Amino acid sequence: MNESMPSTKQAFDQLARNYDSIFTNTNIGKMLRQRTHELLDEIFLPEDIVLVLNCGTGEDVLYLASRGIKVIATDSSAEMIKYARIKIKDGGLENRVIFKQIDFDELDACLDPDEQFDGVVSNFGGLNCSRDLTLLAGELSKYVRVGGRLYLCIMGRFVPWEWFYLGLKGNFSRVIERISGSCMWRGRYIKYYTPGSVIKSFSDNFRAADSRGLGFLLPPSYAGSLVSRYPDFFQLLNRLEKKIESCFAVSCFSDHFIVTFLKK
C-alpha cells in the first residue's frame, strides 16, 4: 500500500466521532437500519454465534446482542470500537459481545483457526473497502459452519437516485466514478459492485439465497436532508420500496444491495 494513502483504519478513525450524528441518528439512517434489522431477524436465532465485520459504532452489534445472539464484533478502527463498547456497556450486554480490532482482509492472522460461526454480518458498505472479495470469501469459508449464513450489505454501482441528485448539482464526475466501479473516498480507493459480481466472488464456497435492494426509491444518505424535510413522503417511499426490494432489478439499481448466502 502507498504509505501516503490513509489506511482503512485511519479513514474510519476520523469518521467515528460524527458517524452516528451524520447517519445512524438521522431519519434516513433510521429507516435503512430498521430494514436491515428486520432481515437480520429472519436470518439469525438467539444463541447463534455471529461474526460482525466492520462493526462501526456498534448499532448492529447492540441489536444482535439484545436479541440473545453471541457476537464477535470486529473493526479495523479503534475509535469505532471505542464508541461501540460504550453502547454495549450502557445496554448491559457485555457478556454477549467480544470486540477484536482486526481488518476483515486479515482474518487468518487474528482468529482462532478452530473458531466456527453460525453466520457473518457486514452492513452498509464496509466490504467496499476490501482488497479482494474472492479472497475474503475463501477466508470466511473456514470460519462459517456448513449451513451458516452470510449477510452482506454492499454499495452498488448503478444508482439512478444519485444520477438525478448529483446531476442537478452538476457533479457528473462523481456519477461517472461510481459507474466505473471505483472512487476516491477520504484519501483511499473504494470499489463498487453489482449483486451479480458479489455472488460470483462468493460462489465457490457459498450459495446465494437472496438479494434485496436498499435505497432504490429512497435517496442516498448524503441526501438525508430531503427526508427530514418531507418525512411522510419518504415514509411512503420506504413502504413501497419494501414491497419490491426482492426484485433483482431493484437490487441492481439501489444505493446498497443486500445479498445473503448459505455455506455449502
Question: pLDDT, tens digit, for every residue of 125-181?
Answer: 999 999 999 999 999 999 999 999 999 999 999 999 999 999 999 999 999 999 999
**Residue 209: its pLDDT value, please?**
97
Alpha-carbon gap, residue 59 to 29, rounded angstroms: 11
Output the pLDDT for position 8. 62
Rounded percentage of the chain residues whose pLDDT exceeds 90 = 85
101-115, 138-152, 191-205, 210-224: least confident range: 101-115
Give 7: exposed, middle or buried? Use CB within 10 Å, 0-12, 13-18, 19+.
Answer: middle
Beta strands 70-75 and 97-101, pairing class: parallel
pLDDT(201) > 90: yes
- 213 contacts 21 by C-beta, under 8 angstroms: no
pLDDT score, position 261: 98
Q: Compute the average pLDDT of residues 202-219.
A: 97
Query: pLDDT (tens digit, 9 = 90+) per residue, 58-68?
Result: 999 999 999 99
One-letter amino acid of 106: E
Q: Is the pLDDT of residue 1 over 50?
A: no
pTM, entire model: 0.94
Q: Is the pLDDT of residue 84 over 50?
A: yes
Least confident of 2-11, 47-56, 137-146, 253-262: 2-11
Average pLDDT score, the chain: 93
DSSP structure string for 107-172: HHHHS-TT--EEEEEE-TTGGGG-S-HHHHHHHHHHHEEEEEEEEEEEEBS--HHHHHHHHHTT-H
DSSP-assigned states of every residue in 19-79: HIIIIITSHHHHHHHHHHHHHHHHH--TT-EEEEES-TTSHHHHHHHHTT-EEEEEES-HH
Cell of 143: 470460519
In the predicted model, what is the mean pLDDT of residues 21-35?
Answer: 96
